[in-house]
A and B are shown apart, each in its own frame.
Chain A
Amino acid sequence: MSGTPIEIKLFSKKAREFIEWLLGRYPNKQAALLPVLRLAEEEFGNIDDSSVMLVADTLDLSPGYVWGVLTFYTHYRREGDGKYLLQVCSTLPCALRGCDKVQRKLEEKLGIKAGETTEDGLFTLKKVECLGSCDTAPVVQVNEKYHENLDVEDLDELLETLRG
């Protein structure tokens, strides 16, 4: 049991209006769970414990239920994820075209291993499965954007651009 009280969060007015519209598209509240989780992700930057409670409350679901659903899916931003989520595709077609090298180079440049976040909170490196861009392998998805045909040489430029 956590000793720290969970902060209470509320959706913005705009978000609530969207949720109203969303609930009209499904015959029950539970069906809107995945889209509402996305909404929380957009609104608050990631889905942490307080977001889970907010979503549960909004849709009349138990927090345990929402937690079980959330942990099933791997594409939601979670607490602790850095500003840029570097998702390196590692399935066979990308592996055949050198995604290992890309991953190792990124690990080297950022000083972290896959699954970790840089100290400054800027980058999280994740190894993910097939992104559906096999013809432009190697591919790294940075937050929502695909960076395709990534060679090891392109990485410096990518990181520079992201760093701003």
Chain B
Amino acid sequence: MTEKQTVNLKINGEEVEAPAGEMLIKVCHDRGLDVPFFCYHPGLVPEGNCRMCLVEVAKAPKPMPACTTPVADGMEIETHSGAAKDARADVLEFMLANHPLDCPICDKSGECLLQDHSYDHGRDGSRMVDVKQIKPTKDLGNGVKLWGNRCISCTRCVRFCSDIAGSGELAMVNRGDSSVVDVFPGYPLQNPLSGNVVDICPVGALISEDFLYQARVWYEKKTDSVCHECARGCNIELQTLNNEVKRIVARHNDAVNDYWICDHGRYTYDYILGPERSLECRLGDSANPANAPGFLARKLRKSADEHGADSLGVVVSAFMNNEALYLLGSLLQELGVPAENIGACARTDGEEEEFKGGFRISADRNPNRRGVEAILGKNAFSSHADDLLKKAKASGLRCLLLVSDMPGQPLADEWIEALDAVEFGLVFLLENDSRIPETVHLLPATAFSERDGSIINEDGRVQLLRAATQLPRGVLSLDELLQDALVELGARESRLSPRGLFDEMAGVVPALAEIRHGDLGEAGLSARGGEE
């Protein structure tokens, strides 16, 4: 006999059909019902210890925790009855009994579940006049600090370290109201996913040193984007204040990274407005970036006319977004430059890491290798690049455009040397590079947080980036610059919006066929030929 797939139950008087075996809390949340919680997390095994999700169940002797109660046929539940509301208010009173009034100095303020639930479900005032429990404040390792007094023993962080990261550094220690999370002396938090425990801590017990006292969250602007530190393309949220990135946190995507990101991706953003950021514009006699499109168009056209289209070469990077790659390809196509003259460079591989809960860090440290392959062909990285270099050495190139926008990895020496051998050399540069000759033209490259566009991860998933920070003064969006250059060349009427640009690109690139910008949403979509 096959097991039943769905069950029928009543929630707040309404008949509901739900998948058999699913937890009540998920069924309620899926229907938009506010069943509050602390220890429950959809990415972790539920424990039911906070008691905040208690709901009234008919015929049950006491309220049941929704996160550990599977739905059953004939169940009748009230999520907002007097009994359920009382249970929540009472649990909150207990939870606040020993919790310090740290809100004014606590980073979590504004995104704290305890604050939110107290406001929504708690009672006014406190009856606790006794001395509160004192627990240690200490470093746990990897830039994670513990304010023990604030810990509510939900064990989310413990479960994360043991089940997802697999390293088990964190544990609840002691018993009763002396319980607190801690590490074994000499064995601090060390795993490459450690920053996630700060994301998931429902209160301000676990704090990131990186973000400590940097910004009040309600002033921040929050923008969806994709991490650029490896080919996984984990979904992130960039949080900015006054146009500066203050923090990167994980964004949920079941198809890519669940609820997690690695520490490297989380903490790598200082370079965006760092001291090495190149803002120099060197366009012949002019230092005015407004001249860039025209300058580029004229110079390239001139070189092609005088020396033949075959004398132009371009090296793109696997860091660039699809639209920029597409436009550069279009520009060169317009000038008749053969496809083989577009090469690509990539960041060197790192170590592949796989974790207990299934999270992976890719060995490929390039966010858009698949984009380059889809738009410029698989050979861009190999034969195109090699042949271009040979051509340059043999003085067969007159015009060379290089994109050096990979943080922490400057262009290989061979390409710098190649610049010496050409008449017209231009580098889109992210980070200062003293090797580049004075005669070479420069335009500042954009950082990923400044881009609106799309990239393709190693599984073939197309995901959207959104600009979180404004371009620094003097920096042009590469997509806009290239479109303007195409307008100058008469190949295009005007600029398109990011949406229009994507759709135009998708109409031309086979891997993106049938995908529209509007389909991508927050979670992206699998490209044709993708592995999903």
Contacts and interface: CB of A to CB of B under 8 A. Distances in A.
Chain A directly contacts chain B within the complex, with at least one CB pair under 8 Å? yes
Interface of A: 1-2, 6, 49, 52, 61-69, 71-72, 74
A13 B168 CA distance: 29
Given A1-B141, A1-B188, A64 B174 contact: no
Contact of B170 (A64, A69, A72): A64
A2 B139 CA distance: 12
B175 A63 contact: no
A63 B162 CA distance: 12
B167 A67 contact: no
B141 A64 contact: no
B162 A67 contact: no
Interface in B174-218: 174-175, 182-188
A71 B173 contact: yes
B339 interface: no
Contacts of A64: 161, 168-171, 183-184, 187
Nearest to A56: B184
B171 A68 contact: yes
13 contacts: A1-B188, A62-B168, A62-B184, A63-B184, A64-B168, A64-B169, A64-B170, A64-B184, A65-B162, A65-B168, A67-B183, A67-B184, A68-B172
A64 B139 CA distance: 15
A66 B172 CA distance: 10
A3 to B, nearest CB: 9
B139 to A, nearest CB: 8
Given A61-B168, A68-B171, 14 more contacts: A1-B188, A6-B186, A62-B167, A62-B169, A62-B184, A63-B184, A64-B161, A64-B168, A64-B169, A65-B162, A67-B183, A67-B184, A69-B171, A71-B175
Contacts of A49: 184-186
Contacts of A52: 184
A66 B169 CA distance: 10
B186 A67 contact: no
Contacts, number: 52
Interface residues of B, number: 21
Contacts of A6: 186
User: Looking at A67, A68, A72, which has the most chain B CB atoms within 10 Å of its CB?
Assistant: A68
B187 A68 contact: no
A5 to B, nearest CB: 8
Contacts of A1: 139, 141, 185-186, 188
B169 A71 contact: no
Residue from B168, B171, B174, B175 having most chain A Cβ neighbours under 10 A: B171
A74 to B, nearest CB: 8
B188 A67 contact: no
A67 B140 CA distance: 15
Nearest to A4: B186
Given A52-B184, A63-B187, A68 B173 contact: yes
Given A65-B162, A67-B173, A2 B186 contact: yes
Interface string B428-443: 0000000000000000
Contacts of A72: 173-175
A72 B180 CA distance: 11
B128 to A, nearest CB: 25
Contacts of B182: 67-68
Contacts of B175: 71-72, 74
Contacts of B158: 68
Nearest to A49: B185
A74 B178 CA distance: 13
Contacts of B174: 71-72
Interface string B137-165: 00101000000000000000010011000
B229 to A, nearest CB: 27
A66 B186 contact: no
Contacts of A63: 184, 186-187
Nearest to A69: B171
A26 B167 CA distance: 24
B175 to A, nearest CB: 5
Contacts of A62: 162, 167-169, 184, 187
B188 A66 contact: no
Contacts of A2: 185-186
B160 to A, nearest CB: 13
Contacts of B184: 49, 52, 62-64, 66-67
A134 B168 CA distance: 41
A30 B139 CA distance: 28
Contacts of A66: 184
Count chain B CB atoms within 10 A of each CB in A62, A66, A69 and give the residue with the most.
A62
